[in-house]
């Protein structure tokens, strides 16, 4: 077992160096600390990641010169110390002492005096520094990378401030109730019996939103498949796709399987063939685990395949295709704060190219009269409505169908959701119908 702050520092250094994400790194790191320290480890990692750009701006102001690349671990150490001083109820002297001791554990005793001096200076000048940086630095004020602030200002001039604010507020824990076993109202009653406060969603008839986050192991019925964790806006994929008995359906880019399981809960057991493809074998394991817990593994076929290729396809067209496209994740930053550290501006163009390639490839597999739903958890139009607009201009057999919902913002192509306090994440949907040779949609 290693010191919990050392574990957090090493993980944060990996994030800053673009070597992994919290989701990919944290499970293994948690095994290296004492069980009683796992909650603290998560708080340190998620909290420092959430406040990263504000903490980084502070560090740059406090240091005479930034750390060299070989000392990224010291940068992570300093940011961790600043986070604890600012956000945690730990006596300042204890924070400073523990952070200085970290330099020894990192085998960099030479930095002991530097870290001590910087943290003590922050302790003395915190109010003044906050006032100065709030006025002089957009990065500090909005706690996001400059490129993201600028892009959101350009893309969403009426919404960018709200988006940035919501990104830094923790998201609620939202559940999807398995309609095959019980209703959302019935599950709400079970929660009430357990003294767990929650409410029904206004967006999804199967969603329950908890007042406070909870370990899934403590949720009644989770182990027997009565509920799954899924944001309420992500639960709209199935009603928008509107599957019918007898349909041949494809769920593309299916991991970790939330939308696939929801689809199977809706139609499982009907005379319907459902295929799911996922590129990563490791992520397929996650899909299969979710299917097994919900006892849905016999209702679909999970294939290891690339959505930009047809090597896995048997040549039979699908009636409905759901594309949960790989994207920037910019709509779920509040759940994955390291996105603000890991994502770069140039990534958006690369992702858009992949998204269009997936659309082009899978469109060939859609039967005339069939429906395709394109979804991302992004708030950037470059990954969303502009992809659909470009695709429709390239394909005369693609008919865009407006999605009429009481929530979200209808766009010329698709519907856009922004993260909302104590409610849904940022998300995008578009619905296309494939015209037959006569120009009819049969829809």
Are 127 and 273 in the same domain? no
CATH code for the domain of 85: 1.10.940.10
The CATH number of whichever domain residue 212 belongs to comes to: 3.30.70.1170
Domain match, 134 and 258 both = no
| Predicted local distance difference test score (pLDDT) of residue 272 | 78
At 271, the pLDDT band (50, 70, 90 cuts) reads low
Judging by beta carbons within 10 Å of its beta carbon (0-12, 13-18, 19+), is residue 194 exposed, middle or buried? exposed
Contact (Cβ atoms closer than 8 angstroms) between residue 329 and residue 378: yes
**Active site residues per annotation:** 377
Within-domain flag for 18: yes
Question: How far is residue 45's CA from residue 34's CA, in Å, rounded to a whole number?
Answer: 16
112, 138, 164: which is the final residue of a domain?
138
In the chain, the N- to C-terminal Cα span, in Å, equals: 60
Each residue's pLDDT tens digit, 219-228 = 999 999 999 9
Same domain assignment for residues 250 and 300: yes
Pick the last residue of a domain from 229, 263, 297.
229
pLDDT higher than threshold 80 for residue 12: yes
- pLDDT score of 211: 93
Distance between CA atoms of 382 and 353, rounded to whole angstroms?
10
In a domain, 204, yes or no: yes
Q: Let me know whether 272 and 348 are in one domain.
A: yes
Question: Would you say residue 408 lies in a domain?
Answer: yes
Alpha-carbon distance of 4 to 32, in angstroms, equals 8
CA distance 247 to 253: 19
**Nearest residue to 261 via CA among 276, 272, 246:** 276
369 lies in the same domain as 253: yes
Residues 416, 313 share a domain: yes
Long-range contacts made by residues 54-60, C-beta under 8 angstroms, separation at least 24?
Answer: 54/139, 54/140, 54/143, 55/79, 55/82, 55/83, 55/86, 56/139, 57/133, 57/137, 57/139, 57/140, 58/82, 58/122, 58/129, 58/133, 58/140, 59/118
Q: Give the model confidence (pLDDT) of 326-348 as tens digits.
A: 999 999 999 999 999 999 999 99
How does pLDDT run across 132-160, given as a tens digit for each residue? 999 999 999 999 999 999 999 999 999 99
Domain contains 150: no
Clarify whether residues 102 and 224 are in a common domain: no
pLDDT, tens only, 171-214? 999 999 999 999 999 999 999 999 999 999 999 999 999 999 99
Across the chain, mean pLDDT equals 96
Residue 422 lies in a domain: yes
**Segment 87-97, tens digit of pLDDT:** 999 999 999 99
* Torsion on CA atoms 137, 138, 139, 141, rounded to nearest 10: 90
Q: Which of 199, 229, 259 is the last residue of a domain?
A: 229
In this structure, is residue 43 part of a structural domain?
Answer: yes
Q: Does 181 share its domain with 321?
A: no
Reply yes or no on whether the pLDDT at 437 is more than 90. Answer: no
92 and 115 in a common domain: yes
9 and 120 fall within a common domain: yes
pLDDT by residue (tens digit) across 20-78?
A: 999 999 999 999 999 999 999 999 999 999 999 999 999 999 999 999 999 999 999 99
Cβ contact 119:129 at 8 Å: no
- Asked whether residue 165 is domain-assigned, the answer is no
- 163 domain residue, yes or no: no
CATH number of 399's domain: 3.40.50.150
The total number of structural domains that make up the chain? 3
In this structure, are residues 257 and 324 in contact, taking their beta carbons and an 8 Å threshold? no
**Residues 101, 50 share a domain:** yes
Query: Could you tell me the residue range of the domain that residue 126 belongs to?
Result: 4-138
Please, are residues 80 and 73 in contact by the beta-carbon 8 Å criterion? no
């Amino acid at each position: 077992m290693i010191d919990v702050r050392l574990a957090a520092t090493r993980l944060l250094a990996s994030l800053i160096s673009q070597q992994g994400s919290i989701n990919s790194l944290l499970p293994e790191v948690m095994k290296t600390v004492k069980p009683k320290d796992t909650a603290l480890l998560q708080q340190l990692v998620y909290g420092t990641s959430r406040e990263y750009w504000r903490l980084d701006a502070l560090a740059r102001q406090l240091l005479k010169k930034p750390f060299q690349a070989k000392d990224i671990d010291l940068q992570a150490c300093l940011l961790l110390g600043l986070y604890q001083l600012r956000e945690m109820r730990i006596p300042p002297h204890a924070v400073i002492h523990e952070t200085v001791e970290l330099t020894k554990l990192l085998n960099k005793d030479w930095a002991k005096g530097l870290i001590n001096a910087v943290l003590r200076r922050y302790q003395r000048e915190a109010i003044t520094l906050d006032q100065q940086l709030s006025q002089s630095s957009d990065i500090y004020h909005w706690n996001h990378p400059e490129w993201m602030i600028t892009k959101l200002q350009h893309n969403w001039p009426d919404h960018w401030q709200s988006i940035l604010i919501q990104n830094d507020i923790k998201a609620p824990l939202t559940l999807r109730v398995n309609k095959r076993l019980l209703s959302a109202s019935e599950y709400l009653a079970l929660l009430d019996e357990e003294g767990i406060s929650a409410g029904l969603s206004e967006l999804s008839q199967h969603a329950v939103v908890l007042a406070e986050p909870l370990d899934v192991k403590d949720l009644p019925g989770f182990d027997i498949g009565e509920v799954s964790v899924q944001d309420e806006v992500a639960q709209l994929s199935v009603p928008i796709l509107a599957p019918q008995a007898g349909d041949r359906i494809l769920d593309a880019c299916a991991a970790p399987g939330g939308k696939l399981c929801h689809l199977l809960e809706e139609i499982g057991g009907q005379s319907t063939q459902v295929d799911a493809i996922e590129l990563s074998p490791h992520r397929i394991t996650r899909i299969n685990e979710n299917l097994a817990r919900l006892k849905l593994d016999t209702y679909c076929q999970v294939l290891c395949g690339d959505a930009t290729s047809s090597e896995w396809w048997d040549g039979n067209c699908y009636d409905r295709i759901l594309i949960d496209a790989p994207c920037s994740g910019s709509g779920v930053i509040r759940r994955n704060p390291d996105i603000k550290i890991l994502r770069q501006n140039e990534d958006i163009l690369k992702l858009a190219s992949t998204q269009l390639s997936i659309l082009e490839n899978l469109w060939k597999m859609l039967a005339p009269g069939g429906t395709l739903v394109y979804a991302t958890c992004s708030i950037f139009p470059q990954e969303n409505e502009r992809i659909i607009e470009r695709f429709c201009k390239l394909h005369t057999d693609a008919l865009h169908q407006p999605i009429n919902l009481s929530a979200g913002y209808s766009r010329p192509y698709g519907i856009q959701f922004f993260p909302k306090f104590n409610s849904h994440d940022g998300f995008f949907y578009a619905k296309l119908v494939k015209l037959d040779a006569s120009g009819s949609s049969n829809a």
